[in-house]
């Protein structure tokens, strides 16, 4: 997972936007992730996604 900032026309990892690259701090016991940010803005938490295909079954009534 990474914390991203909307910059121009794309989401950018906030750890790469500061003058000195920030490090993520992950605390598994507390279920938290932290990173320093150096500018205000719109943020999101992004990570890998899983695609699940679910079959659709349609049952129609007999005439």
Q: Which helix (H) or strand (E) holds 32?
A: strand 32-34
Whether the CA torsion 47, 38, 18, 41 is positive or negative: it is positive
Indicate the DSSP class of residue 38: -
Q: pLDDT, tens digit, for every residue of 11-63?
A: 888 887 777 777 888 899 999 888 888 878 788 877 777 777 888 887 777 66
The pTM score is: 0.49
- 3-state SS class at 4: strand
Residues 45, 1 contacting (CB under 8 angstroms): yes
Question: Residue 30: its pLDDT value, please?
Answer: 93
Residues 9, 1 contacting (CB under 8 angstroms): no
- 3-state SS class at 14: helix
Question: Residue 63: its pLDDT value, please?
Answer: 64
């Amino acid at each position: 997972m990474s914390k991203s900032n909307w910059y121009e026309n794309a989401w950018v990892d906030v750890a790469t936007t500061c003058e000195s690259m920030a490090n993520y701090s992950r605390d598994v016991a507390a279920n938290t992730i932290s990173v320093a940010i150096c500018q205000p803005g719109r943020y999101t938490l992004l990570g890998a996604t899983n695609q699940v295909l679910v079959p659709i079954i349609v049952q129609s009534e007999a005439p």
